[in-house]
Structure 1
């Protein structure tokens, strides 16, 4: 029996993108939370919680991009031209925050450190916003003619796509807050618990508004959810989101440390699964399916051999990072100060 390689590669691409969102999401979220904590000591601890892992997390962004390029080349000739500006700005944001991450630690003059802190905040906010805009652009659809992008350079810009950008801000901030509850202690942890309550409620509100906007404003997605006879399979998604948000609030009240972060990851996964349900089997809605966009069988087979070797190595490496650097981060610990 021949393996349906486009489905396999869609799964690998989707896995790479989700792991990136999961790992780099709380990383970017800490950059967003920097704006609410001005004390140098608090910012040092926040930075040190992600210092050993932040650059490794972006490996999965490269994996997802490489998978698209090799396995679905038509996607590159459509989604990239459709979203050039937000994608370029996203890369600029990631460069700024990466440079700020390193140079902040080496800034000897007190007057320069706030500038690098601002660069870290701005880079994180820009990267997260642009990721949400691209997500909104993907949901609202891309005009494709003969396998090529055939619309305007600013079609990505809409009220819906910008609102999706704000939704990603809230999601990443909640992930970052959950991570800091897990990794810190004392007064900083207490502040994070206080902040987690409104963030969890805002996250639920954003998911609800974007979901409602999607099904009311995008007829193709509304049809998929309500007119295909599969609503019974889809209903657990919003129900589980509600349960997870309730669990986050309950865990914060009970002073649990790991549960808020785990449940915020679960909410992110459920939101991601809702996206996949909404666009499947399209990679470029509303016209290009995974089979339309796939490269040749020989190309996908060749790439799969390399990925079968490389992906477990990447997963093991990242897993070892989190195992080695597990435990609390405290004031005065060595790191990126």
Structure 2
């Protein structure tokens, strides 16, 4: 029974990582476009940027809901502890998403669009910063006593979590710029080639800092990465991320349209795989392992049936959306509020 539970817990660890990457990539470029809209040169440009997201943004956010439900069902102990540890940044993230959603709902018909422009941009920035702070606090580790949270309200706010938050801002801005390169043309597209180069360079610096800092914080991470022969295999992940970065910069220099987005995806995929390998077998770093936090085998098997149907359906729906609304956004268009 113990072996079965650990086997199922490993499957759910993989599925959680998969859904997390899907959320980060899909809603990441949404949030990136929102942050970049703060730098739009005029109302027309900002309108085109928002219109590029109009039919897809709410579906992309659904992955966050699925992620929370999966964590609650598969690892209830981890869900409860994380909720206590990160309730302030979680509230900030929710407020940011609400402001962003309101901007979509009210901006189109507003006489004065400026407040909704600000809400859209700052809501996106607030949500991104909050997600980075949560991730940074999570990687740092969560203090526990027995099966209960033993930390303080502000434990998540550290220099390391601020570095991760900065990396999240630069990473999402890169995804947003790469997406706008595909969806726009002319002056807006030209600006986003420049924004993508800047964001990618800053993200590389942040990622390097995180990669150095993490093994210094956790001895077991350093042992996993720097002990032979582990180093030979695991080093392929940062090497893949760096090669993706070089190919990204090359594609931006050549003014390619679709390649920058896909090379950006490569950077995120290699980076998150490296994070998952580094933290395993902990679901809460240094304190709770997958086996200790996992639900009963019956629960895990039952949930697998549901999630096995839900993930393909969601992926199919996302693919259908992108196929239907492919092509350039040349003028500001009406878009649904998502309500």
Above 0.5 in TM-score? yes
Conserved? CA contact 1:105–1:336, under 8 Å: no
Which stretch of the first structure deviates more once superposed, 235-244 or 118-127?
Answer: 235-244
Which residue of structure 1 lines up, in the alignment, with residue 46 of structure 2?
43
1:155 aligns with 2:155: yes
What CA distance in whole angstroms lies between the structure 2 residues aligned with 1:227 and 1:145? Answer: 31
Query: 1:234: how far off?
Result: 1.1
Alignment of 1:55-74 (within 5 A): 55-74=58-77
Which blocks of at least 5 consecutive residues in structure 2 are unaligned?
none
Query: 1:324: how far off?
Result: 0.7
1:308 aligns with 2:294: no
What CA distance in whole angstroms lies between the structure 1 residues aligned with 2:249 and 2:305? Answer: 44
Give the match's secondary structure for 2:156: coil
For residues 79-114 of structure 1, the C-alpha deviation after alignment (integer angstroms, 9 at most, x for no partner) is: 11111111111111111111112111121x1xx311
Which residue of structure 1 lines up, in the alignment, with residue 32 of structure 2?
29
Which residue of structure 2 lines up, in the alignment, with residue 253 of structure 1?
253
What CA distance in whole angstroms lies between the structure 1 residues aligned with 2:334 and 2:119? Answer: 22
Alignment of 1:286-301 (within 5 A): 286-301=286-301
What CA distance in whole angstroms lies between the structure 1 residues aligned with 2:217 and 2:153? Answer: 22
What CA distance in whole angstroms lies between the structure 1 residues aligned with 2:208 and 2:305? Answer: 41
TM-aligned CA distance change 1:288 to 1:322, over 3 Å: same
User: Normalised by the size of structure 2, how large is the TM-score?
Assistant: 0.94
Alignment of 1:255-270 (within 5 A): 255-270=255-270
For residues 135-187 of structure 1, the C-alpha deviation after alignment (integer angstroms, 9 at most, x for no partner) is: 11111111122211112121111011011111100000000000001111111
What CA distance in whole angstroms lies between the structure 1 residues aligned with 2:280 and 2:233? Answer: 14
Q: How many residues align?
A: 334
Conserved? CA contact 1:13–1:63, under 8 Å: no
Query: 1:228: how far off?
Result: 6.5
Conserved? CA contact 1:14–1:64, under 8 Å: no
Which blocks of at least 5 consecutive residues in structure 1 are unaligned?
none
Give the match's secondary structure for 1:78: helix
For residues 44-72 of structure 1, the C-alpha deviation after alignment (integer angstroms, 9 at most, x for no partner) is: 11111111100000111111100010111
Alignment of 1:113-132 (within 5 A): 113-132=113-132
User: Normalised by the size of structure 1, how large is the TM-score?
Assistant: 0.95
What CA distance in whole angstroms lies between the structure 2 residues aligned with 1:307 and 1:40? Answer: 42
What CA distance in whole angstroms lies between the structure 2 residues aligned with 1:15 and 1:232? Answer: 24
Query: 1:2: how far off?
Result: 5.4
Query: 1:203: how far off?
Result: 1.6
Which residue of structure 2 lines up, in the alignment, with residue 322 of structure 1?
322
Conserved? CA contact 1:136–1:164, under 8 Å: yes
TM-aligned CA distance change 1:176 to 1:147, over 3 Å: same
**CA RMSD after TM alignment:** 1.7
Conserved? CA contact 2:4–2:297, under 8 Å: no
Query: 1:295: how far off?
Result: 0.6
Which stretch of the first structure deviates more once superposed, 321-330 or 300-309?
Answer: 300-309
